[in-house]
Structure 1
Amino acid sequence: MHEFGADHREWEAQVQWFGREYRCIAFAARGYPPSDVPEDERLYGQDFAAADIGAVMRHCGVERAHLVGCSMGSFASLLFALRNPGRASALVLAGVGSGSTRSAAAREEFRRTCAARGDALTRDGWDGAHAEETGHGPTRIQLKKKNPRGWAEYMARLRTRSGLGTGMTMRRYQGMRDSIFDWEQDLRALQVPTLLAVGDEDTPCLEANLFLKQTLPNCGLWVAPRTGHAINLEEPAAFNEAVASFLSTVERGRWSLG
């Protein structure tokens, strides 16, 4: 499950690697072609994002799966696991938690920012300043510094995204979703083996990841140094190795040592 600023194509390095041993399914979220782009804003939000995971699994004949997400994809994966006991055999949550805070004032400011950005994307689309602002943001500039060619490919894909679909997603999903901190009671009961993956320069997500590490009972935290938000693009080899080691340990029944 991909992040807001990506689509299913950003998982290619993972699909090629893990496809050697696993059946890998990457899909474009609603609002991201070739998936449908609903024009009704009421058809966007966290409930749809979580339910869409189940819909894809049903369509592909998958009852239970390891779920791997990045950012909004991680949020949807975690919500799906909470709402569908037994359907997730493991969770890899990369860059989860932006916008989640204990401060009501900070949360309201985040929502206002998402609403304004969503309106701008719906109006202007991505072929212009919005793409440049995103690609040069403080949690994404790391990719350009490490891998200029990879960053250029990412930017080329970014400019093709639906302004309507991502604008609605920004307003209705990103801006109006719960704070992860609100789920504390349910999270403490979630036994699914979980790997948190976060870059140490992904500042908006650090507090939430520490909270999840302290709250989820069957959880590990992997931090990639000098890395921003798109951890699977910035450090694909390290990310793949960490995820492969985690899944192997889970499948051998050695993740939970209690």
Structure 2
Amino acid sequence: MFSSDGVTGAKEKSELDIRSPKMPFLDRSPTISLYYEVHGPPTSTPLLLTHGYSSTSAMWQPQIASFSQHYRLILWDMRGHGQTSYPSDSSAYSEEHTIADMAALLDHICGPQSQAIVGGLSLGGYMSLAFYRVFPERVMKLLIIDTGPGFKKDSAREAWNETAYKTAEGFEKNGLKQLSGLSPERSTVRHRDAKGLALAARGMLTQRNDAVITSLERVQVPSLIVVGEDDRPFLAAAEYMSRKIGGAKKVVVPRAGHAVNIDQPEVFNEAVLKFLKGSDERARL
């Protein structure tokens, strides 16, 4: 259901040159600090993007130059990923903590109860839907990319969770080598160790209920659903969400897989900016 993007690779230096060496952190507890980046004018509309499981904020490199011209682009690393903390307490990893982290970032960067366009890829897209379910008043628009909304059937959820547990076991057994050689998009980001990824798989990748999928019909903001044409496991999920979310727009990107923003960055960027601009114009009518 979610993405798996992330280890150090040859592209790392060139693709990270755009990033400032002194990006800030937000302390969430004595042992947890969230890494984040802000690109673009401080007066522009905030756009919060969340990466997929086992990826980091580095996966959005192809979007920074384009999106930051029009929006205050906020990128961050989830717990157990990238430059954010890797707490050893398994209870520090959950959907609820991730939602709270997103709210805290917006409060810290943009002000208490500020609004933003909220989106993400794979697990990040799921967490964006989960964030809207809890804080609908803070979401201006949704960007749901190469993801699914969870499961209604207990049997399907249990099967997904078994896969997540096996993913955790793989990291516990093989370390970061578990990621090497799997797909091109994983070669552009870094993790400090595999323990955080294992704990994140158990606490954040697994699902406890059907709260998100059953909330889709209550989404009342402009929503864009993007999926790669070759991301076959997610094509049906994208179609399902486009039918359940009122007025949602769906874009299928040719010659793109699960990391559609990396596989076809120009097409992806154009589709997102066209949607955001178009929904702005409709709101003014």
Q: Which TM-score band (shorter chain)?
A: 0.7 to 0.9
1:16-47 deviation line (CA, Å, top 9, x unaligned)? 21111211110111111321111111111211
* Alignment correspondent of 1:166: 197
TM-score, normalised via structure 1 length: 0.83
Using a 3 Å threshold, how does the CA distance of structure 1 residues 26 and 248 change in structure 2: closer, same or farther?
A: same
* Alignment correspondent of 2:121: 70
CA separation in 2, counterparts of 1:2 and 1:178? 22
Whichever residue aligns with residue 29 of structure 1, its letter is M
* Alignment correspondent of 2:221: 192
Whichever residue aligns with residue 234 of structure 2, its letter is C
Gaps of 5+ in 2: 1-49
Secondary structure, counterpart of 2:72 in structure 1:
coil
Gaps of 5+ in 1: 136-143, 145-150
2:138 pairs with one of 52, 63, 87: 87
Give yes or no for contact 1:45–1:169 (8 Å, CA) kept in 2: yes
* Alignment correspondent of 2:29: none
Give yes or no for contact 1:96–1:209 (8 Å, CA) kept in 2: yes
CA separation in 2, counterparts of 1:95 and 1:177? 21
Give yes or no for contact 2:125–2:146 (8 Å, CA) kept in 1: yes
Are 1:118 and 2:168 an aligned pair?
yes
Structure 1 consecutive aligned stretches of length 4 or more whose deviation exceeds 6 Å: none
> What does 1:16-165 align with in structure 2 at a 5 Å threshold?
16-62=65-111, 63-97=114-148, 100-126=150-176, 128=177, 130-132=178-180, 134-135=182-183, 144=184, 151=185, 154-155=186-187, 157=189, 160-165=191-196
CA separation in 2, counterparts of 1:204 and 1:11? 22
1:55-103 deviation line (CA, Å, top 9, x unaligned)? 11011024011112111111111111111122111111101118x3454
Secondary structure, counterpart of 2:136 in structure 1:
coil
Whichever residue aligns with residue 108 of structure 1, its letter is E
Whichever residue aligns with residue 135 of structure 2, its letter is N
Whichever residue aligns with residue 27 of structure 1, its letter is W
1:85-133 deviation line (CA, Å, top 9, x unaligned)? 22111111101118x345433332221121121022134321x2x1136
CA separation in 2, counterparts of 1:26 and 1:243? 16
Give yes or no for contact 1:2–1:69 (8 Å, CA) kept in 2: yes
CA separation in 2, counterparts of 1:193 and 1:43? 32
Secondary structure, counterpart of 2:180 in structure 1:
helix
1:5 pairs with one of 49, 54, 57: 54
Aligned residues: 234
Are 1:208 and 2:237 an aligned pair?
yes
1:142-188 deviation line (CA, Å, top 9, x unaligned)? xx5xxxxxx5xx42525x453111111111111235457x633x321
Give yes or no for contact 1:45–1:176 (8 Å, CA) kept in 2: no
CA separation in 2, counterparts of 1:167 and 1:14? 28
CA separation in 2, counterparts of 1:215 and 1:169? 29
* Alignment correspondent of 2:266: 237
> Which is richer in helix?
1
Whichever residue aligns with residue 280 of structure 2, its letter is E
* Alignment RMSD (CA, Å): 2.1
The CA deviation at 1:15 is 1.4
Secondary structure, counterpart of 1:26 in structure 2:
strand
Secondary structure, counterpart of 1:125 in structure 2:
helix
